[in-house]
Chains A and B, each alone.
Chain A
Amino acid sequence: GENVEQHPSTLSVQEGDSAVIKCTYSDSASNYFPWYKQELGKRPQLIIDIRSNVGEKKDQRIAVTLNKTAKHFSLHITETQPEDSAVYFCAANRGGSQGNLIFGKGTKLSVKP
């Protein structure tokens, strides 16, 4: 079935450094790519999303890039802060218009002060 691969599974950075998380997807019909942040013991929450008609989207310290040809998209966090520490999940919609979200396995980001 459709698959979303996410790397790395864990990432440790120093405060102020940048963090990059990468995902690939297999369904060529996918056209919606959200990123969710899950803090310990809490529910996942959307932090940014991108649709297939754009290649990049930025919101303050976070940005997402999309390469449709290569079927991969990435999350970039600049000037990381300890409160960025969490598990980050990428997702892609299955079958495009169907809307079903398939998630990657997550990246545990640790930002060391």
Chain B
Amino acid sequence: GAGVSQSPSNKVTEKGKDVELRCDPISGHTALYWYRQSLGQGLEFLIYFQGNSAPDKSGLPSDRFSAERTGGSVSTLTIQRTQQEDSAVYLCASTPIINTEAFFGQGTRLTVV
């Protein structure tokens, strides 16, 4: 079946503009994660959704970042008033149940100019 799908694959935006990144997890997966990966760097946790529980937003770097997950499926990560330091690959992952293999999407490469 289809894996985790992210769109767009690439996004170039001007500094100060808002962007929305989309993640379609594998159908039926209850947990969804967003990570940020700067060039040559590690996987920085941003936010975690698990079922109907309140999301863990502790990784969001500033109040310009927000995310929601509608209907327990699709998730959108929104970055307001983008800055150059927001440039990175944003990765989404989902798992069928907690503490099992996380399947990653191909990522969205965001470039802020």
Contacts and interface: CB of A to CB of B under 8 A. Distances in A.
Q: Do A and B come from one complex?
A: yes
Interface of A: 1, 6, 31-32, 34, 36, 43-46, 49, 51, 89, 93-94, 97-106
A64 to B, nearest CB: 14
A100 B45 CA distance: 9
B98 A98 contact: yes
A56 B13 CA distance: 47
B107 interface: yes
Given A98-B56, A99-B31, A89 B42 contact: yes
Contacts of A100: 33, 45, 48, 50, 56
B42 A103 contact: yes
B56 A101 contact: no
B41 interface: yes
Nearest to A32: B99
Nearest to A95: B56
24 contacts: A31-B99, A32-B99, A34-B101, A43-B104, A43-B106, A43-B107, A44-B43, A44-B91, A44-B104, A45-B104, A46-B102, A89-B43, A93-B99, A94-B56, A97-B99, A98-B98, A99-B99, A100-B33, A101-B33, A101-B45, A103-B45, A104-B42, A105-B41, A105-B42
Interface of A is mostly: strand
A1 B86 CA distance: 22
A103 B35 contact: yes
Interface in B8-25: none
Contact of A99 (B41, B45, B98): B98
